[in-house]
Amino acid sequence: MNNYNRLVAIIVSVIFISISFFITFNIYIDPYGIYSNHNQKNKMIYKQNERIRKIILSKKLSAKKIFLGTSTIRDGITKEYYDSDTINLSFNSQSPYESLMMIKNINRTDLKEVNLGLDFFIFSKYWEDTLYLRGFNENLYLNNKLKFLKLIKLNLSLDTFKSSLAEIKYGDSKNLIDSQINNVFINFQSTDYETFDKEKIAYFLKRLNQFNYDENYSYSDSYSKLNSFAAIIDIIELCLKEGLKINLIINPTHNSEKFLLDSLNLKEKYFDWVSSFYSISDKYNINLYNFSVINNYTNIDIESFNKYFSDPIHFRLDLSKKYISELNLNNFSKYHYKNMNDQAFRAYYNAEIEYFISDLGISFNHFLNDIKQKKFIGIEINE
């Protein structure tokens, strides 16, 4: 019995010492720059991970206006299109739940306006299920409740340990200077031009076909904390409670994206998704801008594609200017949901599909047959 008790004591001691070492090591290395503000600029994680970089640094900033959303907003709404009181907190594949966490995380003392870009694909079950795989770590949002418990969980995680090891190995060679930190929230649009042709369209069709679009496209009550619509409602209610102006913005998509969604029998799901936001905006009496169909921009022909887009969902250049100018019109914008009813929106949307098919020069069945016969090298979709 004594030997058994001794063994248990040894095991407990080893576990306690290991946990204590793990936590102490991660706190001492502080790979995320949480505990030593003056040393944040020396943390290589800011160079390495955009998600972590914006979460940590955003706590120190104070803005009157913010933009939240995916890389669509990050790449589209860049510094030259807004004033010095505005901060773009968007990053790649940011889910509505992450947007909610960001708003809760930041200093809202001077905040007056929240602009939330909405992308159809991020509401799918696929993207909810893979949120943690994309680098989400709720323990980094330390301004929320249970801060001490979150710190313990954060410093017990394997990801933090790996970041600590990387900081030891690479930190000195990947320091950020002050000017680079100031530029963290200043995004720059690429001026590179990609060829946009039938092969590229086939590639995007293949990518879209890989995602699970079967769930979460109509607003409904959910018990899941990651549910995208539930997060949107929480954001709206937080903003209304604190007297903040909130703009919901359905982001522009090129007519090729509309064609692809139609080809995958997702058009009606997209219509339902948009209708959900019309209903939500009406219920809460907030602004909604439906930029998914902007005349002479989203229906631009393939030959002139790069003037406004870098791919079917990432807008750029002149379309970015149009985006901001329409927001500044407030409810006088043609694309405000009260000025573009659901029926008119659907008519515009369907017209863009028809225009793209005409621009493509062949029927979709012919196009799909080309893919099945592998006329596009390396492109194949599932039945």
Query: In terms of domains, do 55 and 71 share one?
Result: no
Which pTM does this prediction carry? 0.79
- Cβ proximity of 17 and 24 under 8 Å: no
Q: Is residue 308 part of a domain?
A: yes
> Do residues 258 and 167 both lie within one domain?
no
| 40 close to 181: Cβ distance less than 8 angstroms | yes
Q: Given this model, what pLDDT does residue 45 score?
A: 56
Residues 297 and 341 in one domain: yes
Q: Are residue 53 and residue 67 in the same domain, yes or no?
A: no
- My answer on whether 383 and 315 are in the same domain is yes
176 secondary structure, DSSP code: P
User: What is the mean predicted confidence (pLDDT) over 293-320?
Assistant: 87
The pLDDT of 33-52, averaged and rounded, is 62
Domain shared by 115 and 160, yes or no: no
Poorest-confidence range of 67-76, 112-121, 204-213?
Answer: 204-213
**Which pair of tokens denotes residue 119?**
């992308």
Do residues 221 and 86 both lie within one domain? yes
Task: Read off the amino acid at residue 203.
Answer: Y
Query: Do residue 52 and residue 69 come from a single domain?
Result: no
Q: Does 189 map to a domain? A: no
Is there a domain that residue 188 lies in?
Answer: no
Q: Give residue-wise pLDDT tens across range 175-201.
A: 444 444 445 565 555 555 556 666 777
The pLDDT tens digits for 262-276 are: 877 888 889 989 999
Phi then psi for residue 140, to 5 deg, are: -75, -20
Does 237 share its domain with 258?
A: yes
Q: At what angle do helices 342-360 and 255-263 cross, to 10 degrees?
A: 90
- If asked whether residues 119 and 227 sit together in one domain, one would say yes
383 belongs to a structural domain? yes
pLDDT tens string 24-34 = 887 887 777 77
Residue 78 region, left (φ>0) first, then alpha (ψ -120 to 50), else beta?
A: beta
Q: Do 230 and 201 belong together in one domain?
A: yes
Whether the CB-CB separation of 164 and 142 falls below 8 Å is answered with no
Residue 383 reports pLDDT greater than 50: no
CA distances, 206 to each of 255, 264, 358, 383 (Å): 17, 10, 21, 11
Q: Which pLDDT score, from 0 to 100, does residue 373 have? A: 58
Query: What does the pLDDT look like over 331-382, one tens digit per residue?
Result: 999 999 999 998 999 999 999 999 888 887 766 666 666 655 555 444 444 4
Domain ranges, residue 318: 63-124+194-383
Which residue from 198, 310, 304 is spatially nearest to 253, judged by alpha carbons? 310
Contact 285, 340 (CB under 8 A): no
Give the pLDDT confidence score for residue 177 in this predicted structure.
Answer: 46
Worst-scoring range by mean pLDDT, 11-20, 136-145, 326-335? 136-145
CATH number at residue 233: 3.40.50.1110
Choose between 150 and 231: higher pLDDT: 231
Strands (E), 119-198: none
